[in-house]
Amino acid sequence: MQIIFLLDEQTIILCFIVWPVLQVGIALICIYMPDRYFSTYIFFFRARRFEQGGQPFDRIFKVIRWKHLLPDGGMIWKKRGFRKKKLDSFTDDNLNRFLVESARGELTHWLAILPFWIFGFFAPVRVICYMLLYALFINMPCIIAQRYNRPRVHKLLHRAEARRKLSE
């Protein structure tokens, strides 16, 4: 429900200001949340049976073709960020860190969709629909990529563990 009425130009400018502030604010909140909240065994981040190790995401969305084009937000936050675009090390520690940061990235993008309704305070109702579409268009590819990558990294960890057990 619009409670602040502005000129169209002012509304557009405010939209361009509000989105980045919301996005950065959400990212900062998630960056500073303790790692324990991002266990991939927590219900929200756990791989579902229908995800079949990420295969449907590639079959339906062709993730492998475009995921390299996504920005890596972890690199923006120098001291707290983690580069997820390309794994440099396949140690257990690095793979586990990737899993945590993947869950952190997924939550960040889910939360980044939610504030679309805020625009209803100063923009007409049709703008809220545009903001929802924008939020989905910008964030869903990142969420899909995280859901695609995480089961594959889990598989790498399980293989490494199985190899260690065989060698003992």
Structural contact between residues 103 and 150, judged by C-beta atoms closer than 8 angstroms: yes
The predicted pLDDT at position 81 comes to 66
Residue range of the domain that includes 95: 8-167
Angstrom distances, CA of residue 96 to CA of 19, 52, 157: 32, 20, 8
Dist CA 83 CA 74 (whole Å): 5
Specify if 1 maps to a domain.
no
Contact 155/53 with Cβ under 8 angstroms? yes
Sequential pLDDT tens for the chain (168 residues): 788 888 889 998 999 999 999 999 999 999 999 999 999 889 999 888 888 888 888 899 999 999 999 988 766 665 566 777 777 788 999 999 999 999 999 999 999 999 999 998 989 888 899 999 999 999 999 999 999 999 999 999 999 888 888 887
Q: What is the pLDDT of residue 80?
A: 64
Sequence-separated (6 or more) residues with CB below 8 Å from residue 120: 1, 2, 127, 128
**Of the candidates 142, 125, 134, 105, which has an alpha carbon nearest to the alpha carbon of residue 18?**
134
Buried/exposed code over 92-103 (b: 16+ C-beta within 10 A; e: otherwise) = eeebbbbbbbbb
Note the pLDDT of residue 87: 77
Interatomic CA distance for residues 59 and 9, integer angstroms: 42
Query: Would you give the distance in Å from CA 49 to the centre of its chain?
Result: 20
Nearest to 150 by CA among 88, 98, 87: 98
pTM, entire model: 0.88
Residue type at 25 in one-letter notation: G
Whether residue 18 is contained in a domain is answered as: yes
Number of domains in the chain: 1
Quick check: is 2 in a domain?
no
